[in-house]
Amino acid sequence: MLKILDKYIIKTFFGPFFFIFSVLFFIFIVNIIWVQLGQFMGKGLSYWQILKLLFYMGVSVVSLVLPLTILLASIMSFGEFGERYELAAMKAAGISLTRVMLPLLGVTTLLAIMLYFFSNNIIPDFQKKAKNMLFNIAQTKPALNFTPGQFIDQIPGYMVKFDKIYGENGENIEGVFVHKKSSAFESQQSIVAEKGQFVPAANKNFLKLVLHNGYVYEDALEGKGGNARERQPDQAIKFDTLVSHFDISEIINKAIEKEQITDDYRFNTFNELNTTIANIKKDNKQFFENTTNDALNQTNSVVSYMEKSKTKAKPKLQVKIDTVKTDKKLEMIYNAHNRLENLKTTLDGKTTEIKQNVKYFSKVVIYQQRILSYSVTCIIFFLIGASLGSIIRKGGMGVPVIIAIVIFIIFYVMNLGIENVAWGGKMNPYLAAWLPNMILFPFGVLMTYKALTDSQLFDAEKYKALFKPITRRFSKNKEHKRYQ
């Protein structure tokens, strides 16, 4: 049964907890909006679809938001206890700091367990929905998703290119090229125009394009034999204005939430990732064996004749390059150089493939281990936050927030740095996923020890007294000079 004191401590903790969680979740969501804004704006999506997409994408940030929230809330809670002398009153009543931390440690452990199940069962499903939704949105209404100077084949049956796109909604185009896709036995058609505009069509399933000052090039080859095709003259039709309608119902009516991507490792649970990792190990082992064999075969091919000649009873034929004619000598050197260059190119290509395989394997392992490691981070952050709060003895949004942000930035930078090292194959990915926790855990234990022993770690007077002999020395010199 929870006692009155336990209920009061938990209530004090959850006050700032919900506020901080909401603020941090909103901040991370804004960051996602800023990064992904261009992928879904101007696509004709409803507000409900945009909100749903943001929610799907935002769920994945909970694994980072929750540890930071626990760190901030614990610092603020214990800082308020110290600032209001409630910790001193508890100690005077014979209640140790360990006893005060115990109910919140239980709450934090419960939150950590919930985070594990949330990351393992809910986040993969929402990431699948978000990624498929972004993929489908990217293919919706291609008229608003053209890139100047590039060939685009998003319109079914056509290949288009625009040299310049401008206007408030990108409706004006210049340097237009439109080619109708067809086989070698079908009629060919290409349209070239100086400029044009996208105009809203009466039927939303069609894209209306009005072109100005151009030509329509046609080859009517369909249904004609080879001789007739050769005699078929090219047709060029000049136009001042041409109105074309393109049927895009195939992509406009596509279900935005239809699942077309299912093979991403981020869609798997912890146990499913074990199978994925085992398959990757098996594939990598086979790839490395094949790569080694290919490299050895290419290297050994240079000396294959020498190896064969050893089995024969005939004496070896020794050839000195200085005795060879100039033309033959150049040919031999050229062939040797080509062999070495081919071998070098092969090895460079294989090295790139190996790096990609190692990076992908590290990504999968780190993602799997962080499902568990971030839950442990919650407990470590609580130990650090509660200890620092009881030592600082200041609540509110001032010093506690600054200290918590600094600690989280250190943790986040360590995560990114160690992750990049693991991607390069210079560190075991299992170690990389847990190393930030392994570094912070001793710090959390040290801070807890300092808090239990009433350390004056952040007492400014203590550090002033430490440097007082030095400051006094300079002060004496100044006083001496004044009265000379």
Q: What CA–CA distance (Å, rounded) separates 437 from 415?
A: 10
Residue listed under structure tokens 């990049």? 420
Is the distance from CB of 334 to CB of 401 less than 8 angstroms?
A: no
Q: What CA–CA distance (Å, rounded) separates 329 from 180?
A: 55
Nearest to 256 by CA among 374, 357, 130, 356: 130
Sign of the torsion formed by the C-alpha atoms of 71, 76, 77 and 83: positive
The two counts, helices (H) then strands (E), for the chain are 15, 5
**DSSP three-state, residue 46:** coil
DSSP β-bridge partners for residue 179: 159, 190
Phi, psi of 188 (to 5 degrees): -105, 145
Question: What is the predicted pLDDT for the residue at 460?
Answer: 54
Question: What is the predicted pLDDT for the residue at 138?
Answer: 61
Sites in the chain below the pLDDT cut of 70: 1-2, 35-46, 137-145, 184-185, 204, 220-234, 249-262, 295, 298-329, 332, 395-398, 455-469, 471-484
Question: What is the predicted pLDDT for the residue at 228?
Answer: 60
- DSSP summary character for residue 322: G
Nearest to 201 by CA among 135, 246, 139, 232: 246
Question: How much of the chain is in helix, strand and coil states, percent to nearest 5?
Answer: 65, 10, 20
Q: What CA–CA distance (Å, rounded) separates 206 from 183?
A: 24
